[in-house]
Structure 1
Amino acid sequence: MDSLTQIVLGAAVGEAILGKKIGNKALLYGAIAGTIPDLDVLANYLTDTVTATELHRGFSHSILFCLIVAPLLGALVNKIERRYNLGLKPWAQLFFWGLFTHPILDAFTTWGTQLFWPFQTRLAFNSIFVIDPLYTLPFLACTVALMFYKRNSKTRRKLNQIGIIISTFYLINTVVIKYAVHNRFEKALNEQQLSYSKISTRPSPMNTVLWNANIETKDSYLIADYSLLDTKPISFTSYPKHREQSQAIRKHPKVQRLIAISNGWFLMEQKADQWYFYDLRFGLLPKKDQTESFVFAYTLKEDNGALTVQEVPKSSEDATYAMSVLWQRLKGN
């Protein structure tokens, strides 16, 4: 999830654990704990694109990381905040749960988390987008409001409980909606007599009303969207795999790593002697010039056997236009 959401979740966890004893300091240290796992983005400045992508939501989002880092941070803050005389254990508990709830929430997104690192299994329930105002804003309102009450106030505890309950209920509800939408896509495929081997569904940006689906067939991928407000049948668009043309470059180790990152949901295309790799899991981005591109696209540049991978940048103008298209599509077909 986005940084603000993780800060709010971490602050609420900190409040639940130590708010009654240390007041707003519990919110502060909980927010810090909720932020720490996402420091893995620093890898973008320290290593190449493929490695940084592999590291994202890896070790820093694992149970092992929480078990190692929580007592270290607990010991450090216990020294800094000696006046509370709490000892190591309460601080370690605050940091553990602040760190641990971060990857648990991220597991509901499309990218998922390697919670059981060093095992490569990535948990990705695909039920909530990385930014969802309906999850974050009520939670944020409760967390901000409780700050104005004394640490031993019953209202303060009640507000924190309400924020946690509402956000948790919403998160569970996204799974229920996903199940219903997934069945709707499968029904449409069967009605249109389209054979397939795999299907993956996920919500579109910032809502759980409009959903996207990737469907794998023998020679192509079918991509479709479905709004809970739709009245017309689902329409599927086919994107040929063209695996034969990309056979040679696909053997390169970096391309193999990109394929692993995408969980096999990928297309490759050559345009003007330039190869592109598309990660299909995050859907298409409509552009102002009436074309569209995949949200995560990479250029592959070969030079004497070496391969340089770079992510294709996305413009703010296209992002703004895409949101307007999304809003119109969300209202139904």
Structure 2
Amino acid sequence: MDSLTQIVLGAAVGEAVLGKKIGNRAMLWGAIAGTIPDLDVIARYLTDTITATEMHRGFSHSIVFSILMAPILGWLVHQIKKRPDVGWKGWSWLFFWGLFTHPLLDAFTTWGTQLFWPFETRLAFNNIFVIDPLYTLPFLTCVIIAMTRRRGTLSRKRINNLGIYLSTGYLAITLLLKWVAHTKITEALENQNIAYTQISTRPAPMNTVLWNANVDAGDNYLIGDYSLFDSEPVSFKAYPKNRKASEKLASRDEVKRLINISEGWYILEKEDGTWIYNDLRFGLIPIDPENPQFVFRYKLTEENGTIIATEDRPETENMDAVLGTLWERIKGN
């Protein structure tokens, strides 16, 4: 999830663990703990794009990391604060839950987390977008109100807990909404007599009303979307896999690593003589409605016998139009 959401979650967890003893400072340290796992983004400045992408939401988002780092951070803060009523164990407990709930929440997003590192299994339930106002804003409101209540009071505890219950409840609802969308999309495939081997559904940006689907249909990927307000059948657009044309490039070690990252959901295509690697998991962005492009794409070049991947993110100049298109689609077809 986005940084603000993780800060809010960490603050609420900090309050739940130590708020009765140290008040708002528990929220502060919890917020700090909630941001630490995302420091893996520093890898972007220290290594190549492919390696940094492999590391993202890896070790720092694992149970192992939480268990190892919590006592270290707890001991360090204990040396600074010297609070006998909290102690090293109390600080360690706060940091463990702040560190652990971060990847636990991220597991519900499309990118997922390697919660069980060093095992390569990546948990990605694909039921919430990385930025979702309906998850974050009510939670943030409860945390802010709780901050204004006196330490140790029942009202403070109840308001903080309410934020945790509301956000967790919403997360559970998104799983139900995903099931509804997935069912509608699979029914559309059956009604249209489309044979497929895999299907992946995920929410469109910043909502859980509109859902996108990737469908593996042999030589093509089919991409479609479904809004809970739709009255017309789901339609799909085909995107050729280009496996034969890109076979040689796809056999290179660096590209194999990208394929592993995207769990096989990819298209390699040439644009103006340059190979582009498209990661299909995050869908399309209609900067140009006539020619939408994939959100995550990499330009591939060769230097000294090594494939170099460079992120090629969509331009943000027309984002107002993109958001307008998204809103119209959410309202149904």
Report what 2:174 is aligned to.
Answer: 174
Q: Which residue number in structure 2 is paired with residue 299 of structure 1?
A: 299
Deviation, 1:293, is 0.4
Pairwise CA RMSD of aligned residues? 1.0
Letter in 2 for 1:173: I
Q: Report the residue type matching 2:326 in the other structure.
A: L
Q: Which aligned segments of 4 or more residues in structure 1 are displaced greater than 3 angstroms?
A: none
2:138 maps to amino acid: P
Contact 2:287 2:315 in 1 (8 A): no
Deviation of 1:81 (Å): 1.2
| Structure 2 CA distance for aligned equivalents of residues 140 and 317 of structure 1 | 29
> Which residue number in structure 2 is paired with residue 199 of structure 1?
199
Alpha-carbon distance in 2 for matches of 1:82, 1:49: 42
Aligned-pair distance for 1:316? Answer: 2.0
2:68 is the alignment partner of 1:71: no
Secondary structure of 2:317 counterpart: helix
Equivalent position of 1:230 in the other structure = 230
Rounded Cα–Cα distance in structure 2 between residues aligned with 1:94 and 1:175: 28
- Partner Cα distance (1:210, 1:63) in 2: 32
Structure-2 separation of matches of 1:124 and 1:313: 22
Alignment partner of 2:318: what SS? helix
1:38 aligns with 2:32: no
Spell out, residue by residue over 1:310-330, the C-alpha distance to the aligned partner (whole angstroms, 9 max, x if none).
010322213332211101110
Where in structure 2 are the equivalents of 1:5-24 lying within 5 Å? 5-24=5-24
Give the superposition deviation at 1:83: 3.8
Q: Aligned AA for 1:154?
A: L
Specify the SS of the correspondent of 1:188.
helix
Offset from partner CA, 1:108-133 (integer Å, 9 cap, x none): 00000000011100000000000000
Partner of 2:260: 260
Instruction: Between 306-315 and 253-262, report the one with greater CA deviation.
Output: 306-315
Q: CA deviation at 1:291?
A: 2.4
* 1:286/1:318 contact within 8 Å kept: no
Task: Name the amino acid aligned to 1:69.
Answer: M
Distance of 1:228 and 1:142 partners within structure 2: 28
TM-score by length of 1: 0.98
* Partner of residue 270, structure 1: 270
Helix, strand or coil: the match of 1:221? strand
Shift of 1:308: 1.2
Note if 1:240 corresponds to 2:240: yes
Residues 133-189 of structure 1, C-alpha deviations (whole Å, 9 max, x = no match): 000000000000111111111110010011000000000010011011111111000
Give the residue type in structure 1 aligned to 2:9.
L
Q: Could you tell me the TM-score, scaled by structure 2's length?
A: 0.98
CA distance in 2, matches of 1:301, 1:65: 35
Q: Which amino acid aligns with 1:205?
A: P
Kindly indicate whether the alpha-carbon contact (under 8 Å) linking 2:112 and 2:123 is maintained by their aligned counterparts in 1.
yes
The SS at the match of 1:264 is coil
Number of the residue aligned with 1:142: 142
Percent identity over the alignment? 58
Q: Is the 8 A contact 1:22 1:84 kept in 2?
A: no
Q: Is the 8 A contact 1:268 1:276 kept in 2?
A: yes
Would you say the 8 A contact 2:133–2:206 is kept in 1?
yes
Cα pair distance change 1:273/1:200, threshold 3 Å:
same
Partner of 2:283 in structure 1?
Answer: 283
What's the offset of the Cα at 1:37? 0.2
The whole-number CA distance in structure 2 between the counterparts of 1:109 and 1:93 is 26
Cα deviation, residue 305, structure 1: 2.2
SS of match in other structure, 1:117: coil
Partner of 1:127: 127
Deviation of 1:273 after TM superposition, in Å, equals 1.8
* Offset, 1:88: 1.1
Unpaired runs of 5+ residues, structure 2, are none
Aligned-pair CA distance for 1:251: 1.1
Q: Does 1:184 align with 2:184?
A: yes
